[in-house]
Amino acid sequence: MKIIIKTFLILLTITMFSCNSDDDQNITLNVCDESYVSTEMTHTFSTANGYTNLTEAKPLEVHHYAMRILEDGVICSIGYQNPTNYTGTYTIKITNNNNGFIYEDVLSFSQTELEYHTISQVLNVEAGDFISVWRTITPGYTDINQANGTIINKMDNSAFTFPITGVNVKFLSSSFEGGGSAEYDTAIPHIALGFNAD
């Protein structure tokens, strides 16, 4: 009987001290807002503002844009959508030109929806840092149209007049390059970044 009582008291003590206190419920979770840059693009480059909806175009190997994120935080994921006729990979590169950080990875994405991949490194951003994002199709594609990407154009096909400021992002420039040709500021590639604001 003494053993049963001792065992009961030990279990009761363990249970009492292992319960969560109210303080543990006030922990802030660092969640990656995957829609952060995508939402900025969708709202800033809306049809109401004279831009097209998302479309597949620009059959050039490299799609790039530069921006400033206007708050402190961490870039935590990269989002993209392969064109309907390409299942291959891309080299994705993100640089923070203020602190010298470079992230590079080879990734493939869904053909039917915007798909995000978590970034394996921490990319810290201070408000106003100059961020560049590239998508380069991997060599070996078999049709130039496989180099198309999801982009936003102006309805009248005129050049973009950068900088263009959204709520938390200022878009600075864009370029499309490959096969000996280049286009500057003619559209913006829909390469999304997830962000965790401080």
**pLDDT, tens digit, for every residue of 47-75?**
999 999 899 999 999 999 999 999 999 99
How confident is the model at residue 1, as a pLDDT? 53
Banded model confidence at residue 25, pLDDT cuts 50, 70, 90? very low
Q: How far apart are the first and last CA of the chain?
A: 57
Banded model confidence at residue 137, pLDDT cuts 50, 70, 90? very high
Task: Find out whether 63 and 151 touch, Cβ atoms under 8 Å.
Answer: yes
What sign does the CA torsion over 145, 147, 153, 158 have? negative
3-state helix, strand and coil shares in percent for the chain, rounded to the nearest 5 = 20, 40, 40
What sign does the CA torsion over 149, 85, 38, 61 have? negative
Across the range 143-152, mean pLDDT stands at 95
Task: Find out whether 50 and 98 touch, Cβ atoms under 8 Å.
Answer: no
Report pTM.
Answer: 0.82
Residue 69 to residue 37: CA distance in whole angstroms = 9
> How many CB atoms lie under 10 A from the CB of residue 9?
10
**pLDDT, tens digit, for every residue of 34-50?**
888 888 998 999 999 99
In the chain the domains, ranked by start, together with CATH numbers, are 36-197 (2.60.120)
Chain Cα centroid distance, residue 117: 8
**Mean model confidence pLDDT for the chain:** 88
DSSP code per residue over 150-190 = EEE-BTT-PPP-S-EE-SSEEEEEEEEEETTEEEESS-EE-
